[in-house]
């Protein structure tokens, strides 16, 4: 695929990004992909190429939507931050104040910010369940409320790949009254023209990219119980229930569908002191509260030292999204990512349909982001 045709807009100054994008295809690392970069909330680079289907007959174009898995968590973090901004929630209050059942099994003191930064000890379920039980929102939340933490909450982070969405989503629903999927559609997608949804809209199925799953399993390092229940049990992730149920399930940890352009524009909120398309959707004070470090150290689930904000990954020490010390973002299973650099007022996103095995910092977007920073000097 060395002769891949790249579409979109790439100013001459970012020619190195386009070259890196072409090189990913030439190396056989992509089927279809898109990368978007914004400065001050305005799109300055937006390129896409390849095919949206396994047969490589349907072009991957500007209307193609892809599932971004855990990159969706950045959207959930923004929605919770909005409640904080409105004064309806605070990061330091106990979850049980808004979700009383959550106080069971010694969890009464766990705070919102501990939950959002993966410190609650609820990375997955010990007890056997059916993979399609994940599609029962109330049932999963009842399990979480009754569950004894896997480690002492607040003592370490342990990535919550799927349960994060139910924890953040139920906190949001108890305060706001809406599920996150509806709130995002009403408050962001429609008003700002963002082509993104939590749970695929049925009408978007014809333009959704087919995914090619990884050919190998991610490397988790030394396996412990927190990792095992998070990723390795037969019921660790949603499955079954039919393709329609799986695609449309409004799970705000794993089931976002959209474009790189929508995610890059949305992440401008964190790059531009709360502004989106010239409107203040978060105060600078709330942005600062959201992105500040809550815990740093060896994660109990991921094989990395991690720095966690309130629902966002902080760039150091992995530096998955360029050199910025203040950059925040999130990665998704298979390679997608979205990030915000408030020092440069940059935000960006990468989506693709050929999944890799990196848990954080896939080399394909890393090359694009590094080329963008190299161009900027």
CATH number at residue 170: 3.40.710.10
pLDDT of residue 175: 98
Q: What whole-number distance in Å separates Cα of residue 253 and Cα of residue 70?
A: 5
Say how many CA atoms lie within 13 Å of 357 toward its Cβ: 7
Task: Say what the pLDDT of residue 2 is.
Answer: 53
43 lies in a domain?
yes
Domain of residue 120 covers: 7-376
51-86 as b/e, with b when 16 or more CB fall inside 10 Å? bbbeeeebbbbeebbbbbbbbbbbbbbbbbbbbbbe
Determine the distance from the C-alpha atom of residue 9 to the mean position of all C-alpha atoms in its chain, rounded to a whole number: 25
Give, for all 377 residues of the chain, the pLDDT tens digit.
358 999 999 999 999 999 999 999 999 999 999 999 999 999 999 999 999 999 999 999 999 999 999 999 999 999 999 999 999 999 999 999 999 999 999 999 999 999 999 999 999 999 999 999 999 999 999 999 999 999 999 999 999 999 999 999 999 999 999 999 999 999 999 999 999 999 999 999 999 999 999 988 888 988 999 999 999 999 999 998 777 899 999 999 999 999 999 999 999 999 999 999 999 999 999 999 999 999 999 999 999 999 999 999 999 999 999 999 999 999 999 999 999 999 999 999 999 999 999 999 999 999 999 999 999 98
Domain assignment present for residue 23? The answer is yes
Q: Is residue 98 in some structural domain?
A: yes
CB atoms within 10 A of CB 40: 14
In the 8-state DSSP scheme, what is residue 327?
Answer: -
Please tell me the total count of domains within the chain: 1
Structural domain includes residue 1: no
Rounded Cα distance, 125 and 239, in Å: 15
Q: For residue 103, what pLDDT is reported?
A: 98
Q: Phi-psi category of 87—alpha, beta or left, where left has phi over 0 and alpha has psi -120 to 50?
A: left
59 assigned to some structural domain: yes
- For the chain, the residue count is 377
H/E stretch holding 134 reads none
Angstrom distances, CA of residue 377 to CA of 15, 19, 144, 253: 14, 17, 47, 35
pTM exceeds cut of 0.85: yes
Does residue 2 belong to any structural domain of this protein?
no
Residue 1 pLDDT: 39
For strand 337-341 and strand 328-331, is the pairing parallel, antiparallel, or unpaired?
Answer: antiparallel
- 283 in any annotated domain: yes
* Cβ atoms of residues 183 and 176 within 8 Å: yes
Distance CA 306, CA 302 (A): 8
Instruction: Give the tokens for residue 337.
Output: 């990512």
């Amino acid at each position: 695929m060395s002769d891949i045709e790249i579409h979109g807009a790439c100013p001459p100054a970012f020619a190195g990004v386009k070259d890196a994008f072409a090189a990913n295809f030439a190396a056989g690392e992509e089927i279809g992909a898109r990368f978007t970069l914004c400065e001050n909330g305005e799109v300055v680079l937006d390129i896409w190429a390849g095919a949206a289907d396994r047969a490589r007959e349907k072009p991957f174009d500007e209307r193609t939507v892809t599932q971004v898995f855990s990159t969706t968590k950045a959207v959930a973090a923004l929605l919770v931050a909005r409640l904080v901004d409105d004064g309806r929630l605070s990061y330091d209050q106990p979850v049980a104040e808004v979700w009383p059942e959550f106080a069971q099994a010694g969890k009464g003191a766990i705070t919102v910010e501990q939950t959002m930064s993966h410190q609650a000890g609820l990375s997955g379920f010990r007890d056997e369940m059916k993979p399609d039980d994940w599609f029962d929102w109330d049932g999963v939340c009842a399990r979480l409320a009754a569950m004894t933490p896997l480690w002492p909450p607040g003592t370490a982070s342990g990535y919550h790949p799927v349960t994060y969405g139910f924890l953040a989503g139920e906190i949001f629903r108890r305060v706001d009254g809406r599920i996150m999927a509806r709130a995002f559609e009403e408050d962001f997608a429609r008003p700002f023209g963002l082509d993104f949804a939590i749970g695929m809209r049925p009408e978007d199925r014809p333009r959704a990219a087919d995914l090619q799953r990884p050919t190998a399993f991610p490397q988790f390092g030394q396996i412990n119980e927190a990792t095992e229940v998070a990723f390795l049990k037969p019921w660790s992730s949603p499955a079954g229930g039919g393709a329609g149920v799986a695609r449309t399930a409004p799970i705000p940890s794993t089931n976002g569908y959209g474009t790189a352009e929508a995610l890059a524009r949305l992440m401008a909120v964190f790059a531009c002191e709360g502004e989106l398309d010239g409107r203040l959707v978060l105060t600078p004070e709330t942005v600062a509260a959201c992105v500040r470090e809550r815990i740093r150290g060896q994660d109990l689930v991921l094989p990395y030292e991690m720095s966690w904000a309130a629902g966002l990954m902080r760039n150091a020490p992995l530096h998955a999204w360029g050199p910025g010390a203040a950059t925040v973002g999130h990665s998704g299973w298979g390679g997608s990512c979205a990030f915000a650099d408030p020092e440069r007022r940059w935000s960006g996103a990468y989506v693709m349909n050929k999944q890799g095995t990196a848990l954080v910092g896939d080399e394909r977007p890393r090359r694009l982001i590094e080329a963008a920073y190299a161009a900027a000097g």
